[in-house]
Amino acid sequence: MDSEIKRRMSPPLSLVTLASMTPKRHHVYIEDENIGSINFNDKPDLVGITVNVDTVYRAFEISRIYKEKGSKVIFGGIHASAVPKEMSGFCDSVCIGEAEEVWEKIITDCLTGNLQPIYHKTEPTDLSLVPIPDWNFINKRKYLYYNVIVASRGCPFKCEFCYNSCDYVSGVYRNRPIAEVIKEIDNLKTKQVMFIDDNLIGNLRWTESLLDELKNKNLLWHAAVSTNLVHHPDLIARMAQCGCRSLFVGFESINTESIKSVNKKQNKISEYETLIQLLHKNGIMVNASLVFGFDNDNEETFKKTLEWLIKNKVETMTGHILTPYPGTVLYKKFKSEKRITCNDLVKYNTSQVVFQPKNLTERQLYEGYTKMYKDFYSIKNIIKRLPENKKIAASYLLFNFGYRKYGRIVSFIGKLGFMNSIGKLARRLSYGI
């Protein structure tokens, strides 16, 4: 499964963004426990903590320490936004959803002793107001890379297991001005970027305009897309010509009934293989996102999925155990059916079972999931999945061996302060840049 490298992969973009837009008269610094210990020998006026579901208890601990010092604490992030009432008592305030247009008011209210319990701009943020991140707020050497860019927000779809199905999410898919995206790329002074949007093709006309600007940049890039990309083979060809080298694709399941059960209407399993073939034809690696534990999954699901992945020479696979995140439609459904079996939120990390599956025991689901990873990334199957396009062989082997199979070793080296150097070496070996 994901090695420790993932925690050291890239800096917290949300915090860097807010730090970048904080008025210069204030002193701001960022602590990231993924790469080192927090310095608790300080007493800031305001502590902002991004809260994910599996880090919520640690957020409570950090908040308690600072509140005892007299600091004000505000929670934000995806879990705090999804269930703000559950944060009550553990912090002074909660920022629900996007923070850019309320951040300066939060700071002012804190300094005047008027911090509100909730900040929530219900209208979607105007993305033209989002600043270009100032990466000087973090130690770039401690991360695998920091060339991450968000060009859009939201997703056109509301899959039941996704946070996009939460009540606080506006549901409006928006893109940043292309000129701002290009300016941010130029500021990074890099030849490779990661677009970390939920879905880079949520507005096809905008995506086409972005490609027009990228075609002469001599840039390599990676992104996440939805499976309806299959209907646009010309766009796939253009993406490749403009530097796209890999795509994270939300296939989720090869079982039609499983896809229907979570409202993933955009996925048509009959089109999956065509999409993979189109991407491979254009020299684009496929990172298949898969979820196990849907109501129509059984013990055969793991075997069939593995065979399908090998048959189609899918380069990489990111697997998840279905997880009912609090606040999502799936969570409400499972709770009403009394199928939630674990309330320890640390385990809500998509690699442990926290609910009662329908056609599997909890043990069968967990063991099937872990075996899937072991088998998919076995040396035998890595060789079987070797891409026919030799231009992507180096990046394929580096990901399968360096990130997955021997990720713990690479991570140990990275801990010694060489993580960014490892990233630079990987880019040189993969793409010659």
Tens-digit pLDDT profile for residues 351-386: 999 999 999 999 999 999 999 999 999 999 999 999
* Pairing outcome for strands 192-195 and 148-149: parallel
Banded pLDDT at 54 (limits 50, 70, 90): very high
**Are 355 and 333 spatial neighbours (Cβ–Cβ below 8 Å)?**
no
Name the residue among 173, 98, 150, 129 with its Cα closest to residue 20. 129
> What pLDDT does 236 receive?
98
Of the listed ranges 137-146, 243-252, 414-423, the least confidently predicted one is 414-423
> What pLDDT does 3 receive?
62
> What pLDDT does 228 receive?
93
> What pLDDT does 42 receive?
95
Q: Is 70 exceeded by the pLDDT of residue 2?
A: no
Residue 275 dihedral angles phi and psi, to the nearest 5° = -60, -45
Alpha carbon distance 140, 149 (integer Å)? 15
Q: Is 90 exceeded by the pLDDT of residue 171?
A: no
> What pLDDT does 315 receive?
97
Alpha carbon distance 67, 61 (integer Å)? 10
> What pLDDT does 419 receive?
83
Q: Is 80 exceeded by the pLDDT of residue 264?
A: no
- Element of type H or E holding 250: strand 244-252
Give the number of residues written for the chain: 433
Q: Is 60 exceeded by the pLDDT of residue 76?
A: yes
Per the prediction, the chain carries an average pLDDT of: 92
pLDDT tens, residue by residue, 15-45: 999 999 999 999 999 999 988 899 999 999 9
Alpha carbon distance 96, 337 (integer Å)? 28
Banded pLDDT at 212 (limits 50, 70, 90): very high
Alpha carbon distance 234, 113 (integer Å)? 57
Banded pLDDT at 164 (limits 50, 70, 90): confident
* Domains recognised in the chain with CATH numbers: 22-119 (3.40.50.280), 147-388 (3.20.20.70)
On the 0-12 / 13-18 / 19+ scale of CB atoms within 10 A, 165 is buried
**Are 95 and 49 spatial neighbours (Cβ–Cβ below 8 Å)?**
no
146: its two tokens: 């920091």
pLDDT tens, residue by residue, 308-349: 999 999 999 999 999 999 999 999 999 999 999 999 999 999
Alpha carbon distance 316, 405 (integer Å)? 12
**Collapsed DSSP state (helix, strand, coil) of residue 403:** helix
Alpha carbon distance 350, 340 (integer Å)? 14
The residues, any chain, with a CB within 8 Å of residue 254's CB and separated by 6 or more, are 269, 272, 304, 305, 308
**Cα radius of gyration (the chain):** 22
Q: Which residues of 273-304 are buried (b: 16+ CB within 10 A; e: fewer)?
A: eebbebbbebbbbbbbebbbbbbebbeebbee
24: its two tokens: 């210069």
Alpha carbon distance 257, 194 (integer Å)? 32
> What pLDDT does 157 receive?
77
Name the residue among 186, 203, 185 with its Cα closest to residue 194. 185
